[in-house]
Structures are given as structure tokens and as C-alpha cells.
Structure 1
Amino acid sequence: MSTVIEQAVEARLVAAAPRMPTIPATLHYDRRDPFAVRMSFPAPATLEGVEVHWTFARELLAQGVEQAAGDGDVRVRPYGYERTVLEFHAPEGTAIVHVRTGDVRRFLHRTTVLVPVGQEHRHVDLDRDLADLMRDAC
């Protein structure tokens, strides 16, 4: 069984202009980092022209599908029944995207099959994480 789940999603960028262009994005989950999910945007979809990754709690995404969640750099909330809004706050500005709630729910279901909620601690490799920290400190 794979330890990584990647799912392409179609995101709609909310901009000041009335048009909401569709941009590709990828939701990513790795059993080796069981508490986190990552959302990636390819270089052509970003203002800087470089691929952008946002990492945040899987729990935040799960809560945000049902009700507004988050008060930091990443905020998630439902938008009607069919869409979920993700807000990404950075010093350079805020990006707001809409994704299909069904896509998010499918992704979350797949992550839960891989690592059930409440069992994340069983997949944390503290020895590896400590070795990575020590290597980076040298």
C-alpha cells in the first residue's frame, strides 16, 4: 500500500475582477507526516511564477468542510453545499480559492483509510524526525 496520496483538484481563484479563472492544484498527504496535508499550485498559476506549496493540518481541512475553521495563515470554510473556500494569507497578500467539496471529501476519505483519525501518532517516526533535525543543525 502506498504511503502517499495525491489528488488533483480544480481550484477557482477569487480575484478582484469578476472573472474566476480555474487553476490546477494538488492535494497531497503522506503517511510519514500524518497530521498534515499540502496543497500545491504549479508555477504558471502563481504571481511569482514558481510552484507554491501550503502545508496545514488535515484536521483544519476536515473541519473547514463543515464550518469555518482556522485563524492563522490558512483558513477554510464551506461555501454552499458544493464548494469549499481556502484562504492562504502571506505577507505578499491573500489568495482565496474555491474547490469542489466533493473532491475535498474524497481526498479526506482516502487519507482516513490510510491513517485513521486518532491514529496519527502511530505513524510518527520520532527517531527519523530527530535525525533530520540534527542533520539540519550541523
Structure 2
Amino acid sequence: MSTVIEQPVEARLVAAAPRMQHIPATLHYDRTDPFAVRMTFPAPATLEGVDVCWTFARELLAAGLTRAEGQGDVRVRPYGYDRTVLEFHAPEGTAIVHVHSSDVRSFLAASGELVPVGHEHLQLDLDHDLAELMRDAC
């Protein structure tokens, strides 16, 4: 069984101009990091010209489908019919993208099949992680 889920999504960048630019993006879930999801934007879509990856809580993404969530660098909220807004705040500025809520729901369902919500802690190997930390500290 695979330990990683990747789902391409079509994001629309909200810019100052009235037209929205389409950006390919990918949602990632890896059961070795069970509480997190990643959203990656390809180099041509970024100011830096390199792939940009944002990591945030799976719980934040799920909650943002029904109500505004987040207070930090990543914020998620519903928008109209079948749209979800993701805001990414960085020192360089803020990027706001719209994605289809149905794509997010599909991604969350697949991640829930891999690691059910509430069972994330069962994927962690705390003894191994602590041993790695102690090894690096010596």
C-alpha cells in the first residue's frame, strides 16, 4: 500500500487585476507525516522561479471547507459554490488562490483512507524519532 497521496488541483491566483490566472498545483499527503498536508506550486507560477511548497495541518484544510480557519501563515475559507480559498502569507507578500472544494474533499477522503482522522498518532514512531534527536545531540 502506498504511503503517499498526490492530487493535482487547478488553482486560480487572485491578483489585483479582475482576471484570475490558472496555476497547476499539487496537494500531497504522506502518512509518515500524518498531521500535515503540502501544497506545491511549480516554478513557473512563483516569483522566485523555483517550486514553492507550503506545509500545513490536514485539520486546517478540512475545517476551512466549511468556515474560515487559520491565524498564521496559511488561512483557509469557503467561497461561493464549490470553491475554497487558501491564503499563503509570507514576508514577501500574500498569495491567494481558489481551488475546487470537490478536489479538496476528494483529496481529504483519500488521505482519510490512508490514515483515518484521529488515528494520526498511530503512524508516529516516537522512540525512533527521539533516538534520532539524541544521536544528533551527542
TM-score by length of 2: 0.95
Separation in 2, partners of 1:105, 1:134: 39
Shifted more, 3-12 versus 124-133: the winner is 124-133
Q: Show the counterpart of 2:37.
A: 37
Equivalent residues, number: 138
Separation in 2, partners of 1:88, 1:45: 14
What amino acid is the match of 1:81? Y
Separation in 2, partners of 1:85, 1:135: 42
TM-score by length of 1: 0.95
Separation in 2, partners of 1:122, 1:130: 16
Separation in 2, partners of 1:49, 1:74: 21
Q: Show the counterpart of 1:70.
A: 70
Please tell me the root mean square deviation across aligned C-alpha atoms, in Å.
1.4
* Distance of aligned partners of 1:50 and 1:134 in 2 relative to their CA distance in 1, 3 Å threshold: farther
Residue 132 of structure 1: how far off its partner (Å): 4.5
- Say whether residues 1:21 and 2:28 are aligned partners: no
The answer to whether the Cα contact below 8 Å between 1:76 and 1:85 also exists between their aligned partners in 2 is yes
The answer to whether the Cα contact below 8 Å between 1:67 and 1:77 also exists between their aligned partners in 2 is yes
The answer to whether the Cα contact below 8 Å between 1:32 and 1:125 also exists between their aligned partners in 2 is no
* Distance of aligned partners of 1:39 and 1:136 in 2 relative to their CA distance in 1, 3 Å threshold: farther
What amino acid is the match of 2:54? W
Separation in 2, partners of 1:29, 1:131: 25
Separation in 2, partners of 1:136, 1:21: 45
What amino acid is the match of 2:79? Y
Q: Which runs of 5+ in 2 are unaligned?
A: none
- Say whether residues 1:106 and 2:106 are aligned partners: yes
The answer to whether the Cα contact below 8 Å between 1:73 and 1:88 also exists between their aligned partners in 2 is yes
- Residue by residue over 1:63-89, the C-alpha shift from the partner in whole angstroms, topping out at 9 and shown as x without a partner, is 001110001100000001210000000
Residue identity (%) = 79
Shifted more, 124-133 versus 47-56: the winner is 124-133
